[in-house]
A and B are shown apart, each in its own frame.
Chain A
Protein backbone atom coordinates (compact mmCIF):
# COMPACT_ATOMS: atom_id res chain seq x y z
CA UNK A 1 0.00 0.00 0.00
CA UNK A 2 2.82 2.37 0.86
CA UNK A 3 4.43 1.71 -2.51
CA UNK A 4 1.11 2.51 -4.23
CA UNK A 5 0.80 5.76 -2.30
CA UNK A 6 4.32 6.77 -3.22
CA UNK A 7 3.59 5.86 -6.83
CA UNK A 8 0.54 8.14 -6.67
CA UNK A 9 2.68 10.94 -5.26
CA UNK A 10 5.25 10.64 -8.03
CA UNK A 11 2.86 10.11 -10.94
CA UNK A 12 0.05 12.49 -10.01
CA UNK A 13 0.84 14.76 -7.09
CA UNK A 14 4.47 15.80 -7.61
CA UNK A 15 5.12 18.98 -9.56
CA UNK A 16 7.87 18.64 -12.23
CA UNK A 17 9.82 21.24 -10.27
CA UNK A 18 10.35 18.69 -7.52
CA UNK A 19 12.50 16.64 -9.89
CA UNK A 20 14.46 19.71 -10.98
CA UNK A 21 15.15 20.88 -7.42
CA UNK A 22 16.13 17.34 -6.46
CA UNK A 23 18.64 17.27 -9.30
CA UNK A 24 20.21 20.47 -7.97
CA UNK A 25 22.27 18.26 -5.67
CA UNK A 26 24.84 18.53 -8.49
CA UNK A 27 25.53 22.15 -7.46
CA UNK A 28 28.28 20.91 -5.14
CA UNK A 29 30.51 20.73 -8.22
CA UNK A 30 30.38 24.50 -8.74
CA UNK A 31 33.86 25.89 -7.82
CA UNK A 32 32.57 28.78 -5.68
CA UNK A 33 29.03 28.51 -4.34
CA UNK A 34 27.30 28.47 -0.95
CA UNK A 35 26.54 24.76 -0.99
CA UNK A 36 23.98 25.20 1.80
CA UNK A 37 21.61 26.40 -0.93
CA UNK A 38 21.31 22.77 -2.06
CA UNK A 39 19.42 21.94 1.15
CA UNK A 40 17.14 24.93 0.71
CA UNK A 41 16.32 23.69 -2.79
CA UNK A 42 15.53 20.37 -1.11
CA UNK A 43 12.93 22.26 0.94
CA UNK A 44 11.59 24.32 -1.97
CA UNK A 45 10.86 21.26 -4.13
CA UNK A 46 8.41 19.67 -1.68
CA UNK A 47 6.82 23.07 -0.97
CA UNK A 48 5.99 23.61 -4.65
CA UNK A 49 4.65 20.07 -4.89
CA UNK A 50 2.41 20.63 -1.87
CA UNK A 51 1.12 23.84 -3.42
CA UNK A 52 0.50 22.03 -6.70
CA UNK A 53 -1.25 19.27 -4.77
CA UNK A 54 -3.59 21.80 -3.21
CA UNK A 55 -4.48 23.24 -6.62
CA UNK A 56 -5.11 19.79 -8.09
CA UNK A 57 -7.23 18.59 -5.14
CA UNK A 58 -4.74 15.83 -4.43
CA UNK A 59 -5.80 15.57 -0.78
CA UNK A 60 -9.42 14.94 -1.79
CA UNK A 61 -8.39 12.29 -4.30
CA UNK A 62 -6.24 10.48 -1.73
CA UNK A 63 -8.89 10.73 0.97
CA UNK A 64 -11.42 9.00 -1.27
CA UNK A 65 -9.10 6.07 -1.97
CA UNK A 66 -9.51 2.96 0.17
CA UNK A 67 -6.77 4.04 2.57
CA UNK A 68 -6.75 5.35 6.14
CA UNK A 69 -6.85 9.13 6.56
CA UNK A 70 -3.38 9.08 8.15
CA UNK A 71 -1.98 7.31 5.07
CA UNK A 72 -2.51 10.56 3.16
CA UNK A 73 0.00 12.13 5.56
CA UNK A 74 2.33 9.14 5.35
CA UNK A 75 2.43 9.48 1.55
CA UNK A 76 3.52 13.12 1.79
CA UNK A 77 6.19 12.32 4.40
CA UNK A 78 7.55 9.53 2.22
CA UNK A 79 7.67 11.84 -0.80
CA UNK A 80 9.72 14.39 1.14
CA UNK A 81 12.14 11.77 2.44
CA UNK A 82 12.51 10.26 -1.02
CA UNK A 83 13.18 13.65 -2.67
CA UNK A 84 15.70 14.77 -0.05
CA UNK A 85 17.57 11.48 0.13
CA UNK A 86 17.70 11.35 -3.66
CA UNK A 87 19.08 14.87 -3.66
CA UNK A 88 21.86 13.92 -1.24
CA UNK A 89 22.62 10.74 -3.21
CA UNK A 90 22.88 12.73 -6.43
CA UNK A 91 25.19 15.28 -4.84
CA UNK A 92 27.61 12.72 -3.36
CA UNK A 93 29.43 11.65 -6.56
CA UNK A 94 29.71 15.32 -7.57
CA UNK A 95 31.21 16.22 -4.20
CA UNK A 96 33.86 13.53 -4.75
CA UNK A 97 34.40 14.62 -8.34
CA UNK A 98 34.93 18.22 -7.28
CA UNK A 99 37.50 17.15 -4.73
CA UNK A 100 39.42 15.21 -7.38
CA UNK A 101 39.21 17.74 -10.19
CA UNK A 102 39.22 21.14 -8.48
CA UNK A 103 41.97 21.33 -5.87
CA UNK A 104 41.21 24.88 -4.68
CA UNK A 105 38.76 25.21 -1.81
CA UNK A 106 35.31 26.79 -2.00
CA UNK A 107 35.71 30.47 -1.09
CA UNK A 108 31.96 31.02 -0.76
CA UNK A 109 31.43 28.81 2.28
CA UNK A 110 31.58 25.27 3.57
CA UNK A 111 33.11 22.46 1.51
CA UNK A 112 30.92 19.52 0.56
CA UNK A 113 32.44 17.37 3.31
CA UNK A 114 31.06 15.05 5.99
CA UNK A 115 30.10 17.93 8.33
CA UNK A 116 28.23 19.53 5.42
CA UNK A 117 26.04 16.45 4.96
CA UNK A 118 25.48 16.25 8.72
CA UNK A 119 24.26 19.87 8.75
CA UNK A 120 22.14 19.07 5.70
CA UNK A 121 20.19 16.41 7.56
CA UNK A 122 19.60 18.89 10.39
CA UNK A 123 18.39 21.62 8.01
CA UNK A 124 15.97 19.17 6.34
CA UNK A 125 14.83 17.98 9.77
CA UNK A 126 14.03 21.52 10.95
CA UNK A 127 12.14 22.33 7.75
CA UNK A 128 10.19 19.07 7.52
CA UNK A 129 9.08 19.09 11.14
CA UNK A 130 7.70 22.62 11.02
CA UNK A 131 6.37 22.50 7.46
CA UNK A 132 4.50 19.19 7.74
CA UNK A 133 2.99 19.82 11.16
CA UNK A 134 1.88 23.33 10.17
CA UNK A 135 0.49 22.28 6.80
CA UNK A 136 -1.60 19.42 8.15
CA UNK A 137 -3.32 21.73 10.63
CA UNK A 138 -5.49 22.83 7.69
CA UNK A 139 -4.27 20.79 4.68
CA UNK A 140 -4.48 23.96 2.57
CA UNK A 141 -2.44 26.78 4.15
CA UNK A 142 0.79 25.79 2.46
CA UNK A 143 2.31 29.29 2.13
CA UNK A 144 2.16 30.00 5.85
CA UNK A 145 3.64 26.58 6.66
CA UNK A 146 6.48 27.26 4.21
CA UNK A 147 7.34 30.69 5.63
CA UNK A 148 7.33 29.38 9.19
CA UNK A 149 9.58 26.48 8.21
CA UNK A 150 11.99 28.07 5.74
CA UNK A 151 13.08 30.88 8.11
CA UNK A 152 14.63 28.58 10.77
CA UNK A 153 15.96 26.27 8.03
CA UNK A 154 17.67 29.26 6.34
CA UNK A 155 19.10 30.41 9.67
CA UNK A 156 20.54 26.89 10.03
CA UNK A 157 22.17 27.18 6.60
CA UNK A 158 23.56 30.67 7.39
CA UNK A 159 25.04 29.43 10.68
CA UNK A 160 26.73 26.55 8.83
CA UNK A 161 28.13 28.84 6.13
CA UNK A 162 29.34 31.49 8.62
CA UNK A 163 30.79 29.02 11.10
CA UNK A 164 33.51 27.83 8.71
CA UNK A 165 34.84 31.39 8.40
CA UNK A 166 35.56 31.52 12.15
CA UNK A 167 39.11 30.24 12.80
CA UNK A 168 38.05 28.07 15.74
CA UNK A 169 35.65 26.11 13.51
CA UNK A 170 37.80 25.84 10.43
CA UNK A 171 38.10 22.09 10.92
CA UNK A 172 34.47 21.93 9.80
CA UNK A 173 35.61 23.21 6.40
CA UNK A 174 38.30 20.58 5.87
CA UNK A 175 38.26 17.83 3.28
CA UNK A 176 41.35 16.09 4.74
CA UNK A 177 40.40 12.45 5.51
CA UNK A 178 41.78 12.57 9.07
CA UNK A 179 39.88 15.74 9.92
CA UNK A 180 36.74 14.54 8.17
CA UNK A 181 36.78 11.62 10.58
CA UNK A 182 36.43 14.21 13.36
CA UNK A 183 33.34 15.53 11.56
CA UNK A 184 31.68 12.11 11.56
CA UNK A 185 29.71 12.68 14.81
CA UNK A 186 27.98 15.64 13.11
CA UNK A 187 26.78 13.34 10.33
CA UNK A 188 25.61 10.71 12.81
CA UNK A 189 23.77 13.30 14.91
CA UNK A 190 22.29 14.76 11.70
CA UNK A 191 20.92 11.39 10.59
CA UNK A 192 19.46 10.67 14.04
CA UNK A 193 17.86 14.13 14.24
CA UNK A 194 16.42 13.64 10.73
CA UNK A 195 14.88 10.26 11.55
CA UNK A 196 13.44 11.50 14.85
CA UNK A 197 12.05 14.65 13.27
CA UNK A 198 10.31 12.67 10.51
CA UNK A 199 8.75 10.28 13.03
CA UNK A 200 7.48 13.17 15.16
CA UNK A 201 6.38 15.13 12.07
CA UNK A 202 4.37 12.15 10.81
CA UNK A 203 2.76 11.45 14.18
CA UNK A 204 1.79 15.06 14.92
CA UNK A 205 0.70 15.78 11.31
CA UNK A 206 -1.44 12.63 11.13
CA UNK A 207 -3.19 13.53 14.41
CA UNK A 208 -3.78 17.07 13.21
CA UNK A 209 -5.04 15.95 9.78
CA UNK A 210 -7.47 13.57 11.50
CA UNK A 211 -9.26 16.66 12.88
CA UNK A 212 -9.36 18.51 9.54
CA UNK A 213 -12.72 18.79 7.77
CA UNK A 214 -12.19 18.66 4.02
Chain B
Protein backbone atom coordinates (compact mmCIF):
# COMPACT_ATOMS: atom_id res chain seq x y z
CA UNK B 1 0.00 0.00 0.00
CA UNK B 2 1.15 3.52 -0.72
CA UNK B 3 1.28 5.97 2.17
CA UNK B 4 0.71 8.72 -0.37
CA UNK B 5 -0.19 8.73 -4.01
CA UNK B 6 -0.25 11.93 -6.04
CA UNK B 7 -1.74 11.85 -9.53
CA UNK B 8 -1.72 14.68 -12.04
CA UNK B 9 -1.49 17.50 -9.51
CA UNK B 10 -1.79 20.86 -11.27
CA UNK B 11 -1.95 24.37 -9.87
CA UNK B 12 -2.06 27.54 -11.93
CA UNK B 13 -0.89 30.86 -10.53
CA UNK B 14 -0.73 34.01 -12.67
CA UNK B 15 3.07 33.71 -12.88
CA UNK B 16 3.69 30.07 -12.10
CA UNK B 17 2.39 26.71 -13.23
CA UNK B 18 2.75 23.49 -11.29
CA UNK B 19 1.97 20.90 -13.89
CA UNK B 20 0.96 17.29 -13.76
CA UNK B 21 2.91 16.16 -10.69
CA UNK B 22 2.56 12.42 -10.02
CA UNK B 23 4.42 10.15 -7.62
CA UNK B 24 3.88 7.36 -5.11
CA UNK B 25 5.38 7.09 -1.66
CA UNK B 26 5.26 3.46 -0.45
CA UNK B 27 4.51 2.86 3.22
CA UNK B 28 7.49 2.83 5.56
CA UNK B 29 9.74 4.81 3.22
CA UNK B 30 11.28 8.27 3.11
CA UNK B 31 10.89 10.38 0.02
CA UNK B 32 12.86 13.55 -0.59
CA UNK B 33 11.29 16.19 -2.78
CA UNK B 34 14.08 18.21 -4.37
CA UNK B 35 14.31 21.23 -6.57
CA UNK B 36 15.83 24.68 -6.48
CA UNK B 37 14.18 27.59 -4.66
CA UNK B 38 10.98 28.47 -6.49
CA UNK B 39 10.74 25.14 -8.35
CA UNK B 40 7.35 24.36 -6.81
CA UNK B 41 8.21 22.12 -3.85
CA UNK B 42 6.19 24.07 -1.28
CA UNK B 43 3.27 24.49 -3.69
CA UNK B 44 3.28 20.74 -4.24
CA UNK B 45 3.24 19.98 -0.51
CA UNK B 46 0.63 22.65 0.23
CA UNK B 47 -1.57 21.37 -2.60
CA UNK B 48 -1.31 17.83 -1.24
CA UNK B 49 -2.57 18.89 2.18
CA UNK B 50 -5.20 21.23 0.72
CA UNK B 51 -3.73 24.49 2.00
CA UNK B 52 -3.61 25.46 -1.65
CA UNK B 53 -6.55 24.69 -3.94
CA UNK B 54 -5.21 22.62 -6.81
CA UNK B 55 -6.81 22.99 -10.23
CA UNK B 56 -6.73 19.27 -10.90
CA UNK B 57 -5.22 16.07 -9.60
CA UNK B 58 -6.00 13.35 -7.13
CA UNK B 59 -4.38 12.73 -3.76
CA UNK B 60 -4.70 9.40 -2.01
CA UNK B 61 -3.42 8.85 1.49
CA UNK B 62 -3.34 5.26 2.74
CA UNK B 63 -5.76 4.35 -0.06
CA UNK B 64 -8.27 7.03 0.93
CA UNK B 65 -9.14 10.02 -1.23
CA UNK B 66 -7.69 12.95 0.70
CA UNK B 67 -10.17 15.59 -0.48
CA UNK B 68 -13.18 13.47 0.45
CA UNK B 69 -11.74 12.29 3.78
CA UNK B 70 -9.74 15.34 4.79
CA UNK B 71 -10.52 15.17 8.50
CA UNK B 72 -9.77 11.47 8.95
CA UNK B 73 -6.66 11.69 6.75
CA UNK B 74 -5.35 14.59 8.86
CA UNK B 75 -5.82 12.47 11.98
CA UNK B 76 -3.11 10.17 10.56
CA UNK B 77 -0.83 12.92 9.35
CA UNK B 78 1.75 15.24 10.85
CA UNK B 79 2.80 18.38 8.99
CA UNK B 80 5.76 20.66 9.57
CA UNK B 81 5.90 23.82 7.49
CA UNK B 82 9.44 25.16 7.55
CA UNK B 83 9.70 28.85 8.32
CA UNK B 84 6.14 29.08 9.66
CA UNK B 85 6.11 29.18 13.44
CA UNK B 86 2.84 29.09 15.31
CA UNK B 87 2.13 31.23 18.33
CA UNK B 88 5.70 32.37 19.01
CA UNK B 89 4.78 33.87 22.37
CA UNK B 90 2.94 30.83 23.71
CA UNK B 91 4.41 28.09 25.84
CA UNK B 92 4.62 24.59 24.44
CA UNK B 93 2.26 23.38 27.19
CA UNK B 94 -0.45 25.75 25.90
CA UNK B 95 -0.09 24.62 22.30
CA UNK B 96 -0.05 20.96 23.33
CA UNK B 97 -3.12 21.39 25.55
CA UNK B 98 -5.07 22.69 22.59
CA UNK B 99 -3.65 20.37 19.92
CA UNK B 100 -4.32 17.15 21.85
CA UNK B 101 -8.07 17.86 21.95
CA UNK B 102 -8.35 17.46 18.21
CA UNK B 103 -6.80 13.99 17.89
CA UNK B 104 -8.67 10.86 18.83
CA UNK B 105 -5.47 8.79 19.10
CA UNK B 106 -3.63 11.23 21.32
CA UNK B 107 -1.31 9.45 23.77
CA UNK B 108 -0.22 11.60 26.70
CA UNK B 109 2.37 9.12 27.93
CA UNK B 110 3.96 8.98 24.49
CA UNK B 111 4.02 12.79 24.38
CA UNK B 112 5.86 12.95 27.71
CA UNK B 113 8.31 10.37 26.42
CA UNK B 114 9.05 12.30 23.22
CA UNK B 115 9.38 15.60 25.03
CA UNK B 116 11.96 13.99 27.30
CA UNK B 117 13.75 12.16 24.50
CA UNK B 118 14.00 15.36 22.42
CA UNK B 119 15.11 17.39 25.49
CA UNK B 120 12.26 19.87 25.04
CA UNK B 121 11.22 22.02 27.95
CA UNK B 122 7.40 22.27 27.94
CA UNK B 123 7.46 25.61 29.77
CA UNK B 124 9.54 27.31 27.11
CA UNK B 125 7.93 29.61 24.59
CA UNK B 126 8.09 28.75 20.91
CA UNK B 127 10.32 31.76 20.21
CA UNK B 128 12.86 30.44 22.71
CA UNK B 129 13.39 27.25 20.71
CA UNK B 130 16.09 26.83 18.11
CA UNK B 131 15.00 25.94 14.56
CA UNK B 132 15.92 22.29 15.14
CA UNK B 133 13.98 22.19 18.40
CA UNK B 134 10.91 23.64 16.68
CA UNK B 135 10.98 20.80 14.15
CA UNK B 136 11.38 18.30 16.98
CA UNK B 137 8.46 19.79 18.89
CA UNK B 138 6.23 19.49 15.82
CA UNK B 139 7.44 15.91 15.41
CA UNK B 140 6.63 15.20 19.08
CA UNK B 141 3.07 16.45 18.48
CA UNK B 142 2.69 14.37 15.32
CA UNK B 143 4.09 11.23 16.93
CA UNK B 144 1.88 11.64 20.00
CA UNK B 145 -1.26 11.45 17.89
CA UNK B 146 0.22 8.43 16.13
CA UNK B 147 0.63 9.98 12.72
CA UNK B 148 1.43 7.43 10.01
CA UNK B 149 2.59 9.94 7.42
CA UNK B 150 4.80 12.97 8.03
CA UNK B 151 4.95 15.78 5.49
CA UNK B 152 7.67 18.33 6.10
CA UNK B 153 8.47 21.40 4.06
CA UNK B 154 12.19 22.14 4.24
CA UNK B 155 12.66 20.88 7.81
CA UNK B 156 16.44 21.12 7.56
CA UNK B 157 16.75 24.58 6.01
CA UNK B 158 18.60 26.98 8.25
CA UNK B 159 19.89 24.26 10.56
CA UNK B 160 23.54 23.80 11.42
CA UNK B 161 25.15 20.58 10.10
CA UNK B 162 24.90 18.83 13.47
CA UNK B 163 21.20 19.64 13.98
CA UNK B 164 20.51 18.65 10.39
CA UNK B 165 22.18 15.32 10.85
CA UNK B 166 20.28 14.88 14.12
CA UNK B 167 16.88 15.45 12.43
CA UNK B 168 17.70 13.18 9.50
CA UNK B 169 18.91 10.45 11.86
CA UNK B 170 15.64 10.80 13.75
CA UNK B 171 13.67 10.41 10.48
CA UNK B 172 15.53 7.19 9.75
CA UNK B 173 14.83 5.86 13.24
CA UNK B 174 11.14 6.71 13.03
CA UNK B 175 10.77 4.92 9.73
CA UNK B 176 12.76 1.89 10.84
CA UNK B 177 11.22 1.47 14.29
CA UNK B 178 7.66 2.74 13.82
CA UNK B 179 7.03 2.12 10.14
CA UNK B 180 6.24 5.77 9.48
CA UNK B 181 6.33 7.21 5.99
CA UNK B 182 7.96 10.57 5.42
CA UNK B 183 7.79 13.05 2.56
CA UNK B 184 10.07 16.03 2.98
CA UNK B 185 11.24 18.77 0.68
CA UNK B 186 14.77 20.05 0.62
CA UNK B 187 17.28 21.67 -1.63
CA UNK B 188 20.19 20.20 0.29
CA UNK B 189 21.27 17.12 -1.63
CA UNK B 190 23.28 15.65 1.26
CA UNK B 191 19.95 15.25 3.15
CA UNK B 192 18.85 12.84 0.46
CA UNK B 193 22.10 10.93 0.44
CA UNK B 194 21.79 10.51 4.18
CA UNK B 195 18.22 9.33 4.53
CA UNK B 196 15.99 9.22 1.45
CA UNK B 197 14.73 5.94 -0.04
CA UNK B 198 12.98 7.67 -2.93
CA UNK B 199 13.65 10.94 -4.69
CA UNK B 200 11.23 13.16 -6.57
CA UNK B 201 12.77 16.00 -8.52
CA UNK B 202 10.75 19.05 -9.53
CA UNK B 203 12.05 21.62 -11.98
CA UNK B 204 10.16 24.74 -13.05
CA UNK B 205 6.87 23.32 -11.80
CA UNK B 206 7.23 20.02 -13.66
CA UNK B 207 8.16 16.56 -12.48
CA UNK B 208 11.55 15.62 -13.81
CA UNK B 209 11.88 12.22 -12.19
CA UNK B 210 10.47 10.23 -9.28
CA UNK B 211 12.21 6.97 -8.46
CA UNK B 212 13.96 4.85 -5.88
CA UNK B 213 17.28 6.51 -4.98
CA UNK B 214 19.73 4.27 -6.83
CA UNK B 215 17.50 4.14 -9.93
CA UNK B 216 17.16 7.91 -9.73
CA UNK B 217 20.93 8.44 -9.67
CA UNK B 218 21.38 5.88 -12.42
CA UNK B 219 18.91 7.65 -14.69
CA UNK B 220 20.91 10.87 -14.60
CA UNK B 221 24.31 9.37 -15.46
CA UNK B 222 23.92 10.55 -19.07
CA UNK B 223 24.91 13.97 -17.69
CA UNK B 224 28.44 12.71 -17.21
CA UNK B 225 31.05 14.70 -19.03
CA UNK B 226 34.33 13.46 -20.51
CA UNK B 227 36.73 13.25 -17.61
CA UNK B 228 34.12 12.19 -15.04
CA UNK B 229 35.47 8.97 -13.66
CA UNK B 230 33.05 8.18 -10.86
CA UNK B 231 29.26 8.13 -10.72
CA UNK B 232 27.63 11.57 -10.54
CA UNK B 233 26.52 12.55 -7.07
CA UNK B 234 23.09 14.03 -6.37
CA UNK B 235 24.63 17.46 -6.05
CA UNK B 236 26.32 17.16 -9.43
CA UNK B 237 23.11 15.87 -10.97
CA UNK B 238 21.18 18.85 -9.63
CA UNK B 239 23.81 21.42 -10.61
CA UNK B 240 24.17 20.04 -14.12
CA UNK B 241 20.42 19.85 -14.60
CA UNK B 242 19.86 23.40 -13.44
CA UNK B 243 22.98 25.03 -14.94
CA UNK B 244 22.22 28.09 -17.04
CA UNK B 245 24.29 30.22 -19.35
CA UNK B 246 23.81 33.94 -19.52
CA UNK B 247 24.04 35.94 -22.69
CA UNK B 248 25.80 38.94 -21.20
Residues of A within 8 A of B (CB): 1, 4, 7-8, 11-12, 56-58, 60-61, 63-69, 210-211, 213-214
B46, B81, B88, B101 — most chain A CB neighbours (10 Å):
B101
Residue of A nearest to B126 (CB): A56
Known A-B contacts A11-B98, A63-B51; the reply to A214 vs B46 at CB < 8 A is yes
A61 touches B86 (CB 8 A): yes
Task: Beyond A12-B98, A64-B49, A67-B71, list 19 extra A-B contacts (CB 8 Å).
Answer: A4-B101, A8-B101, A11-B97, A11-B98, A12-B86, A12-B95, A56-B88, A58-B86, A60-B81, A60-B86, A61-B87, A64-B79, A64-B81, A66-B102, A66-B103, A68-B70, A213-B51, A214-B51, A214-B52
Taken together as a complex, chains A and B put the C-alpha atoms of A137 and B71 apart, in Å, by: 23
Per-residue interface assignment for chain B, residues 72 to 93, with 1 indicating a CB less than 8 Å from any chain A CB and 0 otherwise = 1011000101001111111000
Given contacts A56-B88, A213-B51, contact A66 B98 (CB under 8 A): no
- Select which of B49, B79, B88, B98 is within 8 A of A8 by beta carbon: B98
Q: How far is the CA of A12 from the CA of B71 in the complex (A)?
A: 21
CB-defined contacts of B119 to chain A, threshold 8 Å: none
Residues of A within 8 A of B101 (CB): 4, 7-8
CB distance from A22 to the nearest CB of B (A): 20
Tell me whether A56 and B51 are in contact (CB under 8 A): no
- Known contacts: A61-B86, A67-B71. The answer to whether A211 contacts B53 by CB under 8 A is yes
Chain B residues with Cβ below 8 Å from A7 are 98, 101
| Contact present for A57 and B86 (CB under 8 Å) | yes
Is B190 an interface residue when CB atoms closer than 8 A count as contact? no
Give Cα A64 to B75, complex, Å.
10
